[in-house]
Amino acid sequence: MSNPQPKHQHVQQQSLRQEYEEFLLQQIEEYKGQLSRPDLLAIADEAVRELEVSPREQLVLTEVLLLEHVDRLIMRRLKLPSFRKWKDRHLKRRQAQRGPKHWGLDRESPLVDLALRLDNKDMALAVGGGTAPAAYFLAAHDWPTLLIDRDLTTVESVETRVAAEGLAQRFQAMVVNLGNWFPDVAPTLVVIDVLTLNKLDPPTRGRVIDTFKRLTSSGGVHYILPTARHDDTLPLSYEVLRAHYSDWGLGDPERRPLVGFTATKP
């Protein structure tokens, strides 16, 4: 990961415009999904009437033109904000999202520093539902982020939160049965939930960690989240996990009880 570079203003504006368009599309599609077929047809009829300039001078109504005007009518009904108003609210929310407190993260977490070391080729992989707050935090810092978990309900819950927070543009969630298949990615940062590893037998666990190590780009970092008891199960010890990274550079062991530990690929 390289030092953060200042972003050109026109690139940022384009990104915000794209996020705004996605916001509009999401609101419109959700509204359509709540309407009955007769209600949708009524809106289409209204669109046809508005597009007819006069009996002599009628527009050639293509299906695309009609659908676009239906969307404009729905935007009017929902009183969706202009780009300028949306941008003002969006930037204020994004500022809050970039604070660890917004996601319940420790201010001493290595993620606070790691999130600022973004390069335009970097991506983050979050392993297990327990990494969701960390994954949201990274996405808020413009990291393209992929969260994987073997539980469909967890993935759907994550996707719902991402949509509500307006982070869907740079976030994906996927159901993956660890040990059987891995997405074809080359992450710079991998965040790992210890409880997810805890559910694997030792041979599978070792194979999974080795696969993540192999996929990680040179100079990349693995961040193992702090461990805690769950369902009366004692998670893996740091000693067991750190042994898998004996060939990597390990972070400060004195901080690990509170914030987990990091390992950097040579």
226-248: per-residue pLDDT in tens? 766 554 455 567 778 888 888 99
Q: What is the pTM (predicted TM-score) of this model?
A: 0.72
- Whether 125 and 186 have beta carbons less than 8 Å apart is answered as no
- Whether 103 and 133 have beta carbons less than 8 Å apart is answered as yes
**What is the span of the domain harbouring residue 248?**
105-264
77-132: per-residue pLDDT in tens? 888 888 888 888 878 888 888 888 988 888 888 888 888 887 767 899 999 999 99
Same domain? For 252 and 145 the reply is yes
Same domain? For 135 and 258 the reply is yes
Mean of all residue pLDDT scores within the chain:
81
Query: 3-state secondary structure string, 106-129?
Result: CCCCHHHHHCCCCCCCCCEEEECH
Residue 54 belongs to some domain of the structure: yes
Same domain? For 78 and 118 the reply is no
Q: Domains in the chain: how many in total?
A: 2
Query: Distance between CA atoms of 222 and 188, rounded to whole angstroms?
Result: 8
Same domain? For 167 and 51 the reply is no
166-216: per-residue pLDDT in tens? 888 789 999 998 878 888 888 999 999 988 888 888 899 889 999 999 999
Same domain? For 137 and 72 the reply is no
